[in-house]
A and B are shown apart, each in its own frame.
Chain A
Amino acid sequence: MRRNAAVILTYGLALLLWALAGSLLPVPAYILPSPAAIAERIAREPARLALHSLVTLQEVVLGFLLAVLVSIPLGVLIVRSRTFERVIYPLLVAFQAIPKVALAPILVIWFGFGLTSKVSLAFVTAMFPIVINTVVGMSQTPPEMIHLMRSLEASGPQIFLKIRLPAAAPHIFGGFKIGITLAMVGAVVGEFIAADRGLGYSLLIANSAFDMPLLFGIVILLSALSVGLFYLIELIEVLVLPRPLRRKAMSIEPGAAA
């Protein structure tokens, strides 16, 4: 309880300072709008912003899920096959070296102005950390565990399901948490390049209208979406993983806050 109080107090104070900044400092409202002005601007057209949020949310979630579906098998293959690792790893690193923004125009030409180009950009942005974390997690299995399983005549799938996967699970979830926030970046960048809906698109429109309170409002919405998705993954982690594997998670464990 006391920890929660400290958190709320800190944020409350920061908000208060921000609210007072307009009157205390010589900063005009069109540079730094007050929290009240931002809230009021969001409240003026909540339905439209909600709709744009949903569009972006959909792009992020689809892109992320696609990244999960591709990255985990890719990571497993990299760990399992030396040849595959030699072939694919340099490619993966080179691919990660590309600023994903640079891919946006290409993806738009390939997939058009609609959902697909944003999903694919979110996908390529989110993929790398999930692959890397899967590889790191899978390759850290202690050799004795594998020896133990092999001495019991365990099959390959048994070793994978009973040892490698659970041992790697905390790392994979770590990759998910980085991946989901990167998927958000990918989706918004995609909307910057070519879109007629979504929060990234709304940002551009607000920018051209020099609507500072709306710009701030959208940024806050984006951040809220990201944080929400991040904690959703953490919640899934808590529900799916047995207690000892959750130690690495940033704690929002039930009971930990009490």
Chain B
Amino acid sequence: MKLVQSSPEPGRCTPLVEMRAVSMTYELGDGGRLLALDRVGCAVAESQFCSIVGPSGCGKSTLLMLTAGLYRPSAGQVVMDGREVNGPSHGVGMVFQRDVLLEWRTVLDNVLLPIEVKRLHRSEFIDRARSLLGLVGLAGFESAYPDQLSIGMRQRAAICRALIHDPPLVLMDEPFASVDLLTREKLNLDLLRLTSQPPKTVLFVTHSVEEAVLLSDQVVVLSPRPGRVLQRFDVDLPKPRNLESRSDARFHRLVGEIRGVFQAAGVLP
């Protein structure tokens, strides 16, 4: 994580993921076209936690799909590990707004899904799965089915699933949008713990400015549709972070600055 703070301009050191003037146009059913992303450029360094904030419909989710290789950009390139992303190939970990747990699998079997898909040896990962679940307070729920869990617990299990195979990159698409505020704070803490030791490279989409600043090393602010990068912020809050980090003066300054960018763009009054 120090790596990041030492480089004020993340694009300058070799990034793990880089968007180079990425544009995305959707063909609509009625022959119309929708420009979702307009020449987005940003770079995420190894072990960096990068948040993308922006108003609804600004193409944040599209950006994640492009990074995962699930969509192809209409123009520009997504580069990962020095190679252009041409399809799903890096086994990234994904967390969605809905937990997308498989109802017919137990919590443990859900967490081990990536291991099965990658045909790795399940027995070698059971301990890791249990310890991940333990880290987010789900010890004892290994053999429960998802329908026995609360929304927050389900999302925690989904995060464990995204981390089980130690992916080079974790993509999170508004993972906490459907939980209540208190649960959200707890989940933020869980996420900080899970992604800091050892540090993971995370691309995190949210529309909460506070959440973005609390969690991230870098915050990328997108404009309303079509999504353009309005500004990038490096977050210099000391680590390890916890909920008290929010009372730091730097936290308030950054949140204020990001809101200012939204106000200038006409998103906030």
Contacts and interface: CB of A to CB of B under 8 A. Distances in A.
Interface residues on A, range: 20 to 34
B267 interface: no
Contacts of A44: none
B68 A151 contact: yes
B70 A142 contact: no
Interface residues on B, range: 20 to 34
Q: Is the interface of B mostly helix, strand, loop or mixed?
A: loop
B117 A144 contact: no
A219 interface: no
B147 A148 contact: no
B76 interface: no
A152 B96 contact: no
A244 B69 contact: no
A241 B104 contact: yes
Contacts of B96: 144, 147-148
A51 interface: no
Given A147-B94, A151-B91, 11 more contacts: A142-B98, A145-B100, A147-B96, A148-B100, A150-B88, A151-B92, A152-B88, A152-B113, A154-B117, A166-B104, A169-B104
Interface of A: 142, 144-145, 147-154, 158, 162-163, 166-167, 169, 241-245
Interface of B: 65, 68-70, 88-89, 91-92, 94, 96, 98, 100, 102-105, 113-114, 116-118, 145-147, 165, 171
23 contacts: A144-B98, A144-B100, A145-B102, A148-B96, A150-B88, A151-B91, A152-B91, A152-B117, A152-B165, A162-B113, A163-B102, A166-B102, A166-B104, A167-B104, A169-B104, A241-B104, A242-B104, A242-B145, A244-B103, A244-B145, A244-B146, A244-B147, A245-B104
